[in-house]
Amino acid sequence: MVNIAPWLSVNNATQALGFYKAAFAATELERHDDADGCAVVAQLSIGGADFWVQDEGASNPESVEGRWVRMILTVDDPDSVFANALAAGANEVYPIYEEHGWRLGRIVDPYGHHWEIGRRLTT
């Protein structure tokens, strides 16, 4: 089996985990905390789609200005998930719209990662 999972570097992994749980109903699959109980790295799942979140201090990423990560989260009800993400603290980049056979919108999470939230339209 082959699987590719995004690995997001954030400035506060503990807060990020709370955001992804509130915004997308993510479940925590694995978590490693530091001595103070703060998340250092965790594996999350959104409806079976897994991804990782790691605190910047632990991962020491090379910071490149103007670059960001964009995920495409495909769900049955993009309007509801989009609204949940906004309520959890995301900012709207593009509202939900329909184009090219998709209903989707884009948010940016509090950590700078962009999420396209949508579903394919049936024809």
Tell me, what CATH number does 104's domain have?
3.10.180.10
pLDDT at 121 exceeding the cut of 80:
yes
In 3-state terms the chain splits into helix, strand, coil percentages (rounded to 5) of 20, 45, 35
Provide the number of structural domains found in the chain. Answer: 1
pLDDT at 59 exceeding the cut of 60:
no
Share of the chain above pLDDT 90, in %: 63
15: containing domain:
7-57+67-120
Share of the chain above pLDDT 70, in %: 88
> Of 8 and 92, which is predicted with more confidence?
92
